Amino acid sequence: MTYEEYLLEKEKRLGICIEHMNHGVSFVDIETAYIDKTVVIGEGTLIGPCVTIEGNTVIGRNCSILQNTRIKDSVIGDEVEITASHVLESKVGDKTKVGPFAYLRPKSDIGKNCKVGDFVEVKNSTFGDGSKASHLTYIGDSDVGKNVNLGCGVVFVNYDGTNKFRSEIGDGAFIGCNTNLVSPVKVENGAYIAAGSTVTEDVPENALCIARARQTNIEGWAETKGLYRKNK
């Protein structure tokens, strides 16, 4: 690309942003916003610096699409906040917060009033209204109900090396930190999974699932192995 071609492309890009401004969209730094002509953005939405919005994306009213976010071919509801995240071929419901550093891969359908937090990845899954995955979680090939809490480090183990499998989490379930859900499993409404569990069987409604070995402390073990270190 020559410098003259670059200036022409920049002029076109800024023209698109200015058109959005004329329809009630605000920009933190219009010079660093990259928006395709096919994109639709609702009135009252704020676009942060270094944001890229591509393809047939539709963004609702009064959203905050904040710094370093990329959205492609997705539908974003009203009053959504997305920070430093990637959203690809997915849907995000009204008043949901995404990021920072979340990754919504294709065919993710996030409900209303949800939280998809930092370092959470969602792929080919539904996530019901009011559900939360605040950090460090992988949600793959699953259907998560309403008002579900996924703790830190929850992993949907959806691939056995040959085939992909799907899991289902019922409304109001609580999945404790560092839980592995080995698909296909069904966790029914209101069930609780204890932290550190590896779940390989269905969990009944309102049950508590504990799927981990009981802790054993072997006194003096380090000393017998010549590894003992006296505290100073």
Q: Contact at 8 Å (CB) between 106 and 89? A: yes
Burial of residue 58, with CB atoms counted within 10 A of its CB: 0-12 exposed, 13-18 middle, 19 or more buried: middle
Tell me the C-alpha distance between 107 and 104, whole Å.
8
Q: Which of 183, 127, 125 is nearest to 159 (CA)?
A: 183
Active site residue 135: yes
Q: Contact at 8 Å (CB) between 69 and 83? A: yes
Tell me the C-alpha distance between 192 and 189, whole Å.
9
List the catalytic residue out of 20, 23, 86, 135: 135
Catalytic residues, by residue number, are: 135
